[in-house]
Amino acid sequence: MHVPDGFFDAPTSVATGVVAVAAIGVALRGARRELDDRTAPMAGLVAAFVFAAQMLNFPVGAGTSGHLMGGAVAAVLVGPWTAVLATSVVFVVQTLMFADGGITAIGTNITVMGLATVVVGYGVFRALQAVLPRRLALVPVLAGIGAFVSVPVASLLFVALYAVGGAAPVPLDTLTAAMVGVHSLIGVGEGLITFLAVAGILAVRPDLVRGARPVLAARTLEIRTGQTDRPAVTA
């Protein structure tokens, strides 16, 4: 859903640019709580994975494709603040090096594809985690559900922005239906990729999945099996 140059008028592009800069500023502070010597390498890795996965357009219906946005998977793996930073790095590199997403639309793309999918994806994930049993196996499932929901919501945000500052007069009801329709399908792919990525890390090192920490904390209090959730001090 990379927005190219020209889709939005200047005031809207500036406004989303301000939103993006402000969000990154807040995230730089918030990410301090998420990042330490152990988790910092994961942040760069997650950014690199999101970039790679965004190159993989998958077909959705006839003549259309979609790709991962990545806010949900990043937030569950490394935390929401770090996810804002990681996805922003991806979008900046994409527009400057690969001419993917307009340079004047960088704020829009960070806001719609980064911020929105982090907030919605992580919000849904945490909300479900709060009401469901704290089981490790549920973490990738809930991450996938959050990711699935985040994509059509991001497309709704695009429509809302387009209503304010879109370059062409387009009937909003048909635009909404078209955007939400196709992005609900893309959301299925987002959910699957998110599930696989989170499950993959969880299988080898559950302690490196930020969204699994509440579960791990509860589990170590309740049961002590012979399994190690963390690397032993003497490996």
Partner 1 sequence: MSRRTVSTRAVVVGALLVSLLLAGVVSFYAASTPDGLTKVSQEQGFADTETEHGAADGPFAGYDAGFLDGDRLGGGVAGVVGVLVVLVLGTALAYGVRRRSTSDEQPEQPDQTRA
Indicate whether 103 belongs to the interface with partner 1 (CB under 8 A): yes
Does 227 help bind partner 1 (rule: CB under 8 A)? yes
Sole binder of partner 1 in the list 43, 73, 84, 157 (CB under 8 A):
43
Among 21, 59, 163, 164, binds partner 1 (CB under 8 A): 59
User: Using CB under 8 A, which of the segments 11-19, 29-37, 125-133, 137-145 binds partner 1?
Assistant: 29-37
Distance CA(141)–CA(215), nearest Å, equals 14
Nearest-approach distance from CB 4 to partner 1, in angstroms: 4
Stretch that binds partner 1, among 117-125, 131-139, 140-148, 181-189 (CB under 8 A): 181-189
Interface stretch with partner 1, choices 10-18, 117-125, 132-140, 178-186 (CB under 8 A):
178-186
Do 138 and 174 form a contact (C-beta atoms < 8 A)? no
Decide whether 97 or 131 has the Cβ nearer to partner 1.
97
Site residues for partner 1, 144-163, by CB under 8 A, read: 155, 158
In the complex, least distance from residue 113 CB atom to partner 1, rounded to whole angstroms: 10
Report the helix count and the strand count for the chain, using DSSP H and E: 9, 2
38 is a site residue for partner 1 (CB under 8 A): yes
Nearest alpha-carbon partner for 123 in 88, 154, 92: 154
d(CA 171, CA 159): 10
Q: What's the rounded Cα separation, in Å, for the pair 67 and 1?
A: 8
Q: How far is CA 129 from CA 77, 79, 95, 117, 213, in A?
A: 15, 15, 35, 17, 11
* 123 is an interface residue for partner 1 by CB under 8 A: no
Q: Does 116 bind partner 1 (CB under 8 A)?
A: no
SS3 content of the chain, % helix, strand, coil (to 5): 70, 5, 25
Distance of closest approach, residue 131 Cβ to partner 1, in angstroms: 25
Torsion of CA 14, 18, 23, 24, to 10 degrees: 90
Contact criterion met (CB below 8 Å) for 187 and 148: yes
CB of 32 to partner 1, least distance (A): 5
